[in-house]
Structure 1
Amino acid sequence: MTDTNLPLSKECIYCHQNKPLSEFRRRTGKRSKGQSRRGACRECRKQRETAETKNLPQVAPITRLSDSRSLSAAPQPISAAVPALLSAKPAAVKAHQHSLPERSREGKSLPPSSVAKAKARTRGAEQPRIHPHLRGPKPEPQDTSALIPSAKGLILMRGHSDKGRRWHQEIDFELAVTLVNERAAVVINRRTIRRIYSNKDFRAMILTRDNYTCHFCGLYGDTIDHLLPRAKGGHTTPENCVCACNLCNQTKADQYVEEFMGR
């Protein structure tokens, strides 16, 4: 069916009269297709709305507080027991509240120990908590006596890689003390130390400090050697590393300095 064959009038469901489609409201939603209209015409709709407004209950006007007659005639919704409670002294009510036992959310009475713990938690929540590792004055960067190992005897060490990425690991307490004493790390707090140099920065620092001169033969050097070999307990620290040429570094290997120089 095309639009030209659609009906131009419709029968109202209330007055049962054929009226033009302009007298009906358009439908909305899924049923709003083409010339679809609602069932009631505008006139019948207005009559029904007028009848509904006339049937609404009338609301009594609000009386003013200054009108003593209206207040006396109005019913009193408050019972006689409520004024007695309102006139009671606040101190008596407060004392009565304290005399009641503490109760949980389920309504069961709590023992005095639980009440004391709950009050202590509320008092502690008001004050900001301080981390136990950060209490007291901040230790000096080279003060190893301020370090406190964990239950497993470990200290947290932080540092950064050559690309600037941060890392952390746990090391033995003795190693942490050695690194701090030999100027390779500093103390951050009682549980943590920080590695000062990355691998790339450490190599550049040692070569610049020794002016690219081999510690053993005095020639040009561009490598780093450990005075106390790592195989015998040495560490990569500024006090244990020196600049060395490639030949001396390979020849010394894991020997002590005295053994290498006395051969």
Structure 2
Amino acid sequence: MTDILLPLSKKCAYCQQLKPLSEFRRRTGKRSKGQSRRGACRECRKQREAAAPAAPLRSKASSTPAIAGLAPSGPPPAQRRPVSAATVLPPKPSPAKAHQHSLPERSKEGKAPSASPAAKAKSRPRGAEQRRTPPHRGVKPDPQDVSALVPSAQGMILMRGHSDKGRRWHQEIDLELAVTLVKEKAAIVLNRRTIRRLYSNKDFRKLILTRDNYTCYFCGLYGDTIDHLLPRAKGGHTTPVNCVCACNLCNQTKADQYVEEFMSR
């Protein structure tokens, strides 16, 4: 026994008759499905299309109905009196606009009257003149005056410098070390809280070797290394006063000895 597939049908929205789907137009859109159709069948569509051009076109002139044989109410245009400007009252300002500041009156040339210098001075804020004048920082200290250094509450002084590649760095050191670096010509005083290291590692090595003409301080031969007169292990620092040029042999032999102890051998 075979099943007979009946054609799919739909009820028309106008004639209320059940008709096959081929009589209806397909729906278009994202939400429409494969079997979705419009509401009007083919015959109803033809009837609606035939009745559409028969409808009268309404123009703007016919939008207001006029009765034939009747004149418009009111006096003719020639007999109407012109409305004087005195009878027209100006609109009242809204309460929101009443609180706005009124603009200055303009002169005949169309420019607003310029304010006096005294009025301009009053309109400026109080701190404007104070911001224009730079603050009084006092007298700049001498670069070699260590007495001008004043440590912070933690007893530290800020030291600034630059690396071999030009990158800036800074660190905090104690007051005693800052005084030593300034006295031994390795730094200068910028202000009462800051000192600046004069040489990077590469510049400092070049300074010492050229100053001593590549001559060993201990034996007088050719030297290309730097040695500390007061060893760093005993409190010496890398400063132009404490460093000298030395050969590799003397530098290795001296190690952490004092100069007098090494030269007495």
TM-score by length of 1: 0.55
* 1:67-216 correspondence to structure 2 within 5 Å: 70-71=85-86, 73-75=87-89, 123-124=126-127, 127-128=130-131, 135-216=137-218
The offset of 1:194, in angstroms, is 1.0
Give secondary structure in 2 for the equivalent of 1:204: helix
- CA shift digits 1:126-183 (9 cap, x unpaired): 5229998x81122221121222211111111111111111111111111111111111
Change (3 A) 1:244 1:138: same
CA contact (8 A) 1:183 1:239 kept: yes
Among 227, 235, 238, which residue is 1:225 paired with?
Answer: 227
**Matched residues, number:** 169
Note if contact 1:159-1:168 (Cα within 8 Å) is conserved in structure 2.
Answer: yes
Q: Could you tell me which amino acid in structure 1 is paired with residue 184 of structure 2?
A: E
- Cα distance, 1:149–1:247 mapped onto 2, change above 3 Å: same
1:23-78 Cα distance to aligned partner (Å, 9 max, x none): xxxxxxxxxxxxxxxxxxxx76xx469969xxxxxxxxxxxxxxxx733x344767
Give the share of equivalent positions with the same residue, in percent. 72
Q: What letter is aligned with 2:216? A: C
CA distance in 2, matches of 1:202, 1:128: 42
Q: Which amino acid aligns with 2:159?
A: M
Secondary structure in structure 2 of the residue aligned to 1:180: helix
User: Relative to structure 2, which stretch is displaced further, 141-150 or 152-161?
Assistant: 141-150
Tell me the residue number matched to 2:53.
17
Change (3 A) 1:49 1:129: farther
> Compared with structure 1, are the counterparts of its residues 198 and 70 closer, same or farther at alpha carbon in structure 2 (3 Å cutoff)?
same
Identify, as 1 or 2, the structure richer in helix: 1
- For residue 128 of structure 1, what is the amino acid of its counterpart? R
Query: Secondary structure in 2 aligned to 1:175?
Result: helix
| In 2: Cα distance, 1:243 partner to 1:208 partner | 9
Pair member with larger Rg: 2
So what's the TM-score if we normalise by structure 2?
A: 0.55
- Where structure 1 has 5 or more consecutive residues not aligned to the other structure, the ranges are 2-9, 19-42, 53-68, 80-121
Q: Distance in 2 between matches of 1:151 and 1:190?
A: 13
Deviations 1:166-223 (A, max 9, x none): 1111111111111111110111222111111110110111000000111111111111
- Rounded to whole Å, the distance in 2 between the matches of 1:208 and 1:177 is 26
